Amino acid sequence: MYWKPTGHRRSIPGPRGRSPPPRPRTPHNSTSGKWEYQTVSGDVPVVGTYTWDTYSYDGTIYSGAKTTEATATKSSIATFVYASGPTVSVTSPTNGATLTSNNPTITWTSSSQNRRRVRYYVPGTDTAVYDSGWTVTPSTTYNTPAGAIHDLTDYEIEVGVEDSTPLQGFSSRILVHIAVTPPATPSGFSAIPIKVGNDPWETAIRLEWQASSESAGVFAGWYLYRSDLGMNVPYKILTSPDDTGVIDPVPTSGVEYVYTLMQAVNDDADVIFSAAVTSTAQVTLQGVVLCDVNNPLTYRCVLDSVQERDMNRKRDAKTYFVGTNEKPVTFASSVKYWEIPATYKIVPPITAADPIAAIALRKADVLALEDQNPVMCYRDEQGTNLPGCKFFDFGYAQLKFYPVFTIAVREEHYPLGVQLQDGDV
């Protein structure tokens, strides 16, 4: 029993044959009701077996009612072992290695092992991005599971081992870079200007390449980009490894487009891209091409003999007259749009074997397009490309062998572009 205890002292004689360290005061834990001491650096300087005892001092007398510290009554001697944990060394991969798989196998050596734990860290931090958890096993090999880590990322790997004592030891962290082997580069990629239907000259661009050797389960897509749209969003993604081509139905006249193609495959939780290939093409229109934005290869017409055409830039406005003695007020829309009224004559190509039949086919194309009353894309030889037009005037007359169409189109709100088309023409 202690009378007004002011502290607790303990002595640690040290390993056998060593002098004991100083005897510090120890705090009282009011929660547990016990006196406690946390060892600090230097208390147990080396691995070994240590003994310790305690005694008390209330500021007047020492435990056992002794008046000197040397004669204080001490507790019985207790023993503890200060031992180091297992020595762990990662043998594969090596520090600084670039790994071509995001399921790498980790191997290590250990002086003893009952359980193991593998962790991946953000380099230079204690932020673990993957933790295998402790598992009882004598195996010194670990296969990283799918989805644990990702392509084109750096990680630090640490292996922890626990022996049967149980004491734990941890390897030094090793830095690795993940760069999964990409799929094969697309082959045979080309961009070719083509005629569509009864068009007298090239109005579209066909993109062709060879089929993928990847299986359907692994294949993630053909990613196709066009230079004017940038590389942030694909112009088209095709999802079959057997796809070998598409048609760009509405390229702007006189613009040289660079098309880029990449193959993508699934690799666990990542999508891995091949090296890119490019091909360049352009069309030079010799008149006006109109097509249905939803069926650009089916409903379309070419108007190549322009008799008269106006390009009117419009802005809607409304004028209000508020009183006889006040000036009027006009409110104008901030949005501008095009209205293009024109007269076109259908003439056959110079090379046509049957000019009358060629004119009939072209005339039928115009009438079929008008009958659909579609949202259209308007393109012309001046480089105009408006993918959201509607007819607002349409007339037809026959001058001897040549049909003459009076057509007016108006640019309207259309947030979508004209999509690439699958198949042949």
What contacts 282, CB < 8 A, 6 or more positions away?
A: 193, 205, 251, 254, 255, 256, 257
Contact 127, 111 (CB under 8 A): no
Determine the pLDDT at residue 6. 33
CATH 2.60.40.10 fits 190-281, yes or no: yes
CA 330, CA 316: separation in Å to the nearest integer?
A: 10
Determine the pLDDT at residue 17. 38
Which pLDDT tens digits describe the chain residue by residue (425 residues)? 222 223 333 444 444 434 344 455 667 787 888 878 888 777 778 878 888 888 888 888 988 888 888 899 988 888 887 888 899 999 999 999 999 999 999 999 999 999 999 999 999 999 999 999 999 999 999 999 989 999 999 999 999 999 998 999 999 999 999 999 999 999 999 999 999 999 999 999 999 999 999 999 999 999 999 999 888 989 999 999 999 999 999 999 999 999 999 999 999 889 999 999 999 999 999 999 999 999 999 999 999 888 999 998 888 878 877 777 788 888 877 788 899 999 999 988 778 889 889 999 999 999 999 999 999 999 999 999 999 999 999 998 988 788 999 999 999 877 766 776 765 55
**What does the angle CA 370 – CA 374 – CA 377 come to, to the nearest 5 degrees?**
100
Q: Per the structure block, which two tokens stand in for 389?
A: 């037009």
pTM for the whole thing? 0.71
Indicate the domain borders of the chain: 8-82, 88-178, 190-281, 288-422
Within this chain, domains 190-281 and 288-422 share the same CATH topology:
no
Question: Is residue 10 within a helix (H) or strand (E), and if so which, with residue range?
Answer: strand 8-11
What is 88-178's CATH superfamily? Answer: Immunoglobulins (2.60.40.10)
Q: Which CATH number fits domain 288-422: 2.40.30, 3.90.550, 1.10.3470, 2.30.30?
A: 2.40.30
The DSSP code sequence of 252-314 is PTTPPEEEEEEEEEEETTEEEEPPPEEEEE----SSEEEEESSSTTTSEEEE-EEEEE--EEE
